[in-house]
A and B are shown apart, each in its own frame.
Chain A
Amino acid sequence: MIQISPHAEAALTCTLDERSLYLRRLVLGSVRSAGRGHVGPALSLIEMVRVLYDDVLRIDPKDPRDPDRDRAILSKGHGCLALYALLADRGFFPLSELDGFCGPDSILGGHPEYGMVPGVEASTGALGHGLSIGVGLALAARMRERNYRTFVLLGDGEINEGSVWEAAMGAAKHGLDNLVALVDYNKLQSYGPTDYVLPLEPLADKWRSFGFAVQELNGHDVGTLRTVLKQVPAVPGKPTAIICHTVKGKGLPQAESNADWHHKNKLTDSELDAIRVAVGDF
């Protein structure tokens, strides 16, 4: 069985504040409108994305291509509902776009597309690509002597991909301390538990051995996320990996750690009622 770290236990019991609930309402509203969506992978990400976009990234929604902006890539592209909620809420595009999710005339697909969605830095969804692109962005900053930083959000299932570890070696080789990998460690991938599908432990040691400065935290603890993410690089000369212990489906009791909520094709009336109980009207 997978080891339950104190961070993972804390993630299970973490209470969500009003903003986290509000963002979940946006995500679930998109799912209700579209009749589909990756619910679990988005809900585990909310606090990570929230802290990035609210408190850490140097970005201007009015100038999404500002050369000096920080770059953020959602490598686990199927978690895009969390990203869309934040981008819309921060003014990159109107909130009304969220209702069109996956629709024929929408800019918002089931995986984020570069050039379609303001604020999306790369088309992702094919897993295992984002960290390499992030290495390129971070290396470009180094070569051009620019001080933007690059953040890449990875899924735990995603890091099954060998290309992630190729990228990790490359990042360490170049000493990219302007690069941060955040792992959404919710311990559940599409088929089932990560320790059944392909065990990842000892995960922190893996990243450490690949040359990263590693931090572990409760990925739903906004305060800790804020503190840690504001202190990157953790070690000068090293890329940073932040392992965020999370709960898939966090905030919806029926979805939490439940593989059936990885992707939803429709929501029943009773499920909609249960969502209202959990997050309020949405």
Chain B
Amino acid sequence: MRNTAMNMVHKLAGRDERVLYIGSDPGAGTLRAMSKEFPKRHLIEGISEAHIIGMSAGLAMEGFVPYVNTIATFLTRRCYEQVAVDLCLHNLPVRLIANGGGLVYAPLGPTHQAIEDIAIMRALPNMTVICPCDADEAARMMEQTLDWAGPIYIRLGKGGDAVVSKAEHGFEIGKAILMRPPGEVLMVTTGIMLQRALAAADLLAAQGIRAGILHMHTVKPLDTAALLQAIRGVRLVATLEEHVPSGGLGSAVAEALIDKLGSGLPAMLRLSLPDRFMHNYGSQDSLLKKHGLAPNAIATSIERALASHTSPQLHST
């Protein structure tokens, strides 16, 4: 997913001279081909993220579309005020390409694990938050970023995430994709939790439980219309995210449902990481498994939640 997104910057740069790549101190050779073809638009600016955000704001004020790239935690925790003021307050078209959203950097420990990034980016007025699920979707997503008016936070996974998105679904910023029609359950996912949801849906189907999946690649703005449509008749809405419980996808879905429905809310199950820093290493998969976000644990949690809600709460909107 990451290499695809990077290569898309190069591709977009070939199509539109407004496009810039701005890295802090990325891995050696990042976008080398772009640096050769468009050396003036491939900028490596050092480990100075606060400055890079301000600089990208200045460039965007002059008509450029900067794609700023570094590790997710540095784009979010380190320079939050610059992101808030320089980008969001001015509503400038800067794209923050965040490497290693969620637990990608599991072996490197809590300083590198972006487990609250969605929450803090979502809180900012004018910010758009996108979490593609795989490389193919990342490519379709990047096509859409060229002319989006305001700033975008793009949460990337890593290389090798299974490709589960489909070209026929297309991609539009702010439009959720219904991957499977809802049954008793609707799973709402973002990022690479889609892969886990698809596997969990198969496990549930084997138990006779029909589970739909709404892929909310854009967490902000949330596609509330698609959500309200998809929850019709379901007994349980389960949100799945590689993120702490506060402020992420589950919060966004719950807030949207409360705002739109007020009463008669469907039963909800928010599956997320716990509200703590990860003090284990291993791999992204091993940490997801440890915290109940592997497919079988997701299926089990959903089965239990359904069992605890014995009175079907048929919701209609």
Contacts and interface: CB of A to CB of B under 8 A. Distances in A.
Nearest to A167: B51
Contacts of B6: none
A281 interface: no
B162 interface: no
Given A132-B55, A135-B51, A162-B50, A140 B90 contact: no
B63 to A, nearest CB: 7
B94 to A, nearest CB: 10
Given A123-B89, A163-B82, A170 B45 contact: yes
Interface string A32-51: 00000000000000000000
Interface string B33-49: 00000001100011010
B85 interface: yes
Chief secondary structure at chain B's binding surface:
helix
A119 B142 CA distance: 34
A132 B51 contact: yes
A151 to B, nearest CB: 13
Contact of A167 (B54, B56, B61, B64): B54
B306 to A, nearest CB: 49
A137 B62 contact: yes
Interface in B49-90: 50-64, 81-82, 85-86, 89-90
Contact of A136 (B48, B56, B81): B56
**Count class of interface residues, chain A:** 20 to 34
A140 B46 contact: no
Interface string A100-135: 000000000000001100000111001011111111
Contacts of B54: 129-133, 135-136, 163, 167
A132 B89 CA distance: 16
Contacts of B64: 140, 143
A166 interface: yes
B304 to A, nearest CB: 47
Given A140-B64, A166-B48, A166-B50, A133 B40 contact: no
Nearest to B20: A143
Contacts of A153: none
A138 B54 CA distance: 12
B55 A167 contact: yes
Interface residues of B, number: 26
Chief secondary structure at chain A's binding surface:
helix
Best-buried of A130, A136, A163, A167 by chain B (most CB within 10 Å): A136
Contacts of B50: 128, 132, 162-163, 166
Contacts of B61: 121-122, 133, 136-137, 140
Contacts of B90: 114-115, 122-123
Given A128-B50, A163-B50, A136 B59 contact: yes
B154 to A, nearest CB: 20
Contacts of B46: 166, 169-170, 173
Contacts of A126: 81, 85
Contact of A123 (B51, B59, B62, B85): B85
A133 B55 CA distance: 5
B51 A143 contact: no
Given A132-B54, A133-B55, A163-B51, A140 B82 contact: no
Given A123-B89, A143-B40, A170 B62 contact: no
Given A114-B90, A140-B63, A135 B58 contact: yes
B59 A169 contact: no
Contacts of A121: 61
Best-buried of A134, A137, A166 by chain B (most CB within 10 Å): A166
A144 B62 CA distance: 9
Contacts of A140: 58-59, 61-64
Nearest to A150: B58
Interface of B: 40-41, 45-46, 48, 50-64, 81-82, 85-86, 89-90
List 10 A-B pairs, minimum CB-CB distance, nearest first.
A136-B58, A132-B54, A140-B62, A166-B51, A166-B48, A163-B50, A136-B55, A133-B58, A136-B59, A137-B58
Given A133-B61, A136-B56, A163-B51, 12 more contacts: A121-B61, A122-B86, A126-B85, A134-B58, A135-B51, A137-B62, A139-B58, A140-B59, A162-B50, A163-B48, A163-B54, A166-B48
